């Protein structure tokens, strides 16, 4: 949650890793100890934010208007995010979110990439009344642009997940631990979680 109590992509990532993270971070308000993995991730992000993303995005979709660093929020879902870029095709009433990753294209798209792009697509569809048939992830280091079909089923799943996270915060009920015990090793709450 951000400092105004809105859920963000980070909460979706946490929930996907282990539902119990939501309880520790958003109900008990215990800041997550930073793991080595996260520190490395932050270093990468810091380097990337210093670079210009725009010129590279413009190259891919020359003729369509674009919105950069677009902040979107759903009051109903208590959720907000900022998109790297949104391409608009006004003639077709379609829009396509693009996420930038300072990484090589992996063999398979990580679950976290998908969560982010689906949440962005949901907010675009609901706030801006465009249909979102596709989204894209641009992998900077290999110059790959991956096209991702977006289905109503996917969007509904993300909507339900956000609703579940809100429910944990509202009911203050501690969720079950992740069934994947290996994940506890990298978890910042492992010392206070009764699972560990
Ligand atoms: S220690 Fe394991 S079960 Fe507990 S919050 Fe962390 S990942 Fe979840």
Q: Is residue 4 part of a domain?
A: no
* DSSP bridge pairs for 89: 94
Which string of DSSP letters, residue by residue, matches the chain?
--TTS-B-HHHHHHHHH-THHHIIIIIS-PPPPPPHHHHHHHHHHHHHHTS--HHHHHHH-TTS-EEEEEEEEETTTTEEEEEEEEEEEGGGTEEEEEEEESSPPPSS--HHHHHHHHHHHHHHHHHH--B--EEEEEETTTTEEEEEE--HHHHHHHHHHHHHHHHHHHH-PPPPPPS-GGGGGG-TTTTT-TT-
- CB-defined site of ligand 1, < 6 Å: 18, 20-21, 177-178, 183-184, 187, 189-190, 193, 195-196
Residue 38 lies in a domain: yes
Averaged pLDDT score across all residues of the chain: 86
Going by alpha carbons, the residue nearest to atom 3 of ligand 1 is 177
Signed CA dihedral, 6, 119, 9, 84: sign only: negative
- Region 144-163: what's the mean pLDDT? 95
pLDDT tens digits along 9-64: 999 999 999 999 999 999 999 988 655 455 444 444 444 444 555 555 556 678 89
- Kindly tell me if the per-residue pLDDT of 86 is higher than 60: yes
CA of 101 to the centre of ligand 1 (A): 27
Would the pLDDT of 7 be above 90?
yes
- The domain that holds 173 is classified in CATH as 3.90.320.10
| Host domain of residue 161 | 9-186
**Minimum-distance ligand 1 atom for the alpha carbon of 188:** 6
What is the per-residue pLDDT across 99-130, written as a single tens digit (0 to 9) for each? 988 889 888 888 888 899 999 999 999 999 89
Q: Let me know if residue 84 belongs to a domain.
A: yes
Counted domains in the chain: 1
In this prediction, residue 195 carries a pLDDT of 73
């Amino acid at each position: 949650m951000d400092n105004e109590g809105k859920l963000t992509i980070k909460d979706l990532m946490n929930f996907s890793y282990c539902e119990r993270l939501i309880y520790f971070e958003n109900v008990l308000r215990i800041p997550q100890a930073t793991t080595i993995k996260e520190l490395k991730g932050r270093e990468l992000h810091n380097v990337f934010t210093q670079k210009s993303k725009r010129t590279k995005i413009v190259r891919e979709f020359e003729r369509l208007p674009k919105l950069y660093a677009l902040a979107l929020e759903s009051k109903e879902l208590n959720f907000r995010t900022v998109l790297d870029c949104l391409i608009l095709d006004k003639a077709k009433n379609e829009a396509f979110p693009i996420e930038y990753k300072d990484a090589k294209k992996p063999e398979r798209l990580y679950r976290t990439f998908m969560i982010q792009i689906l949440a962005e697509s949901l907010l675009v569809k609901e706030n801006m009344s465009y249909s979102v048939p596709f989204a894209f992830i641009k992998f900077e280091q290999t110059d790959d642009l991956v096209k991702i079909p977006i289905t109503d089923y996917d969007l509904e799943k993300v909507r339900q997940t956000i609703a579940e996270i809100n429910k944990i915060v509202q009911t203050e009920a501690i969720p079950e631990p992740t069934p994947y015990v290996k994940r506890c090793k990298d978890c910042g709450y492992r010392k206070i979680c009764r699972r560990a």
